[in-house]
Structure 1
Amino acid sequence: MTELEEHASGSTPPDPGPDRPPRDLTKVRRIALATWLALVVLRLALLGVSFDRTQILLLIVPGLMVACIGRRRMVTVALDWLPFALLLVAYDLSRRVTSVIGLPVHWHLGPDADRAMFGEVPTVWLQSHLKTATPSWWEVIISAIYISFFIVPYAIAAVLWLRDRVVWRKYIYRFIVMSFLALVGYVLVPAAPPWAAARCTPAEVADGPSAPACMFESPAGVPDGGLLGPVHPHNPGAEPYVERLSNRGWDTLHFGAASTMVDSNQASSNLVAAIPSLHAGLTAMVMAFLWPLVRRRWRPLLAAYALGMAFALVYTGEHYITDILIGWALAAAVLVGFGWFDRWRERRRPTAAPTP
Structure 2
Amino acid sequence: MDPVTTLETPPETDLPPDRRRRRIIGMTVWAVAFVLFVAFVGVPTSDPLTAFGWLWLATIAWRNYQPWREHLLFLRDWLPVVLLLVFYNVSRGSADKLFAPHVQFMIDADEHMFGWLTGGRIPTIWLQQHLYDPSHVPWWEVVTTMVYISHFLTVPTVAVVLWVRSRGLSYRFMRRWIALSMAGLVTYFLYPAAPPWWAAENGYLAEPVARFSSRGFDVLGLHSAGNTLNALQVEQSNPVAAMPSLHTAYAMMAVAFFLPMVRKRWWPLLLAYPLAMTFTLVYTGEHYVVDVLLGWFYVGAIFLTVGWAERRWAARKR
* TM-score band w.r.t. shorter chain: 0.7 to 0.9
Amino acid at match of 2:200: A
Between the aligned partners of 1:345 and 1:58, the Cα distance in structure 2 is 32
Match of 1:272 in 2: 240
Give the % identical residues: 39
Larger Rg: 1
Match of 1:304 in 2: 272
Which of 248, 255, 263 aligns to 2:230? It is 263
- Determine helix, strand or coil for the equivalent of 2:257: helix
Q: How far 1:28 moved relative to its partner?
A: 4.0
Match of 2:4 in 1: none
Residue 247 of structure 1 pairs with residue 214 of structure 2: yes
8 Å contact 2:42–2:229 — kept in the other structure? Answer: no
Match of 2:3 in 1: none
Aligned CA distance change for structure 1 residues 46 and 248 (closer, same or farther; 3 Å): closer
Between the aligned partners of 2:71 and 2:222, the Cα distance in structure 1 is 37
Aligned CA distance change for structure 1 residues 66 and 137 (closer, same or farther; 3 Å): closer
Aligned CA distance change for structure 1 residues 65 and 123 (closer, same or farther; 3 Å): same
Match of 2:51 in 1: 56
8 Å contact 1:247–1:262 — kept in the other structure? Answer: yes
Runs of at least 5 residues in structure 1 that lack an aligned partner in the other structure: 1-18, 202-226, 231-240, 351-356
Runs of at least 5 residues in structure 2 that lack an aligned partner in the other structure: 1-9, 116-120
Between the aligned partners of 1:66 and 1:256, the Cα distance in structure 2 is 28
Match of 2:118 in 1: none
Match of 1:47 in 2: 41
Q: Normalising by structure 1, what TM-score? A: 0.76
Aligned CA distance change for structure 1 residues 115 and 65 (closer, same or farther; 3 Å): same
1:285-323 CA distances to partner (integer Å, 9 max, x unpaired)?
A: 111002223455543221001111011111111001111
Aligned CA distance change for structure 1 residues 46 and 319 (closer, same or farther; 3 Å): closer
Aligned CA distance change for structure 1 residues 294 and 43 (closer, same or farther; 3 Å): same
8 Å contact 1:124–1:228 — kept in the other structure? Answer: no
Match of 2:103 in 1: 107
Q: How far 1:31 moved relative to its partner?
A: 3.6
Amino acid at match of 2:74: V
- Determine helix, strand or coil for the equivalent of 1:109: helix
8 Å contact 2:26–2:61 — kept in the other structure? Answer: yes
Which of 224, 228, 231 aligns to 2:205? It is 228
Between the aligned partners of 1:76 and 1:171, the Cα distance in structure 2 is 18
The 5 Å alignment of 1:123-272 reads 123-133=124-134, 134-201=136-203, 227-230=204-207, 241-267=208-234, 268-272=236-240
Match of 1:334 in 2: 302
Between the aligned partners of 1:43 and 1:74, the Cα distance in structure 2 is 22
Q: How far 1:70 moved relative to its partner?
A: 4.2
Match of 1:79 in 2: 76
Q: How far 1:176 moved relative to its partner?
A: 0.7
Amino acid at match of 2:212: L
8 Å contact 1:124–1:229 — kept in the other structure? Answer: no
Q: How far 1:59 moved relative to its partner?
A: 0.9
* Aligned length in residues: 293
Amino acid at match of 1:144: M
Which has the larger share of helix?
A: 2
8 Å contact 1:65–1:77 — kept in the other structure? Answer: no
Q: How far 1:92 moved relative to its partner?
A: 1.5
8 Å contact 2:94–2:238 — kept in the other structure? Answer: no
Which of 67, 79, 82 aligns to 2:62? It is 67
8 Å contact 2:41–2:228 — kept in the other structure? Answer: no
1:161-216 CA distances to partner (integer Å, 9 max, x unpaired)?
A: 11101100111111111001000111011111101111122xxxxxxxxxxxxxxx
8 Å contact 1:142–1:249 — kept in the other structure? Answer: yes
Q: How far 1:327 moved relative to its partner?
A: 0.7
Aligned CA distance change for structure 1 residues 33 and 128 (closer, same or farther; 3 Å): closer
Aligned CA distance change for structure 1 residues 135 and 30 (closer, same or farther; 3 Å): closer
Q: How far 1:44 moved relative to its partner?
A: 3.4
Q: Normalising by structure 2, what TM-score? A: 0.84
- Determine helix, strand or coil for the equivalent of 1:331: helix
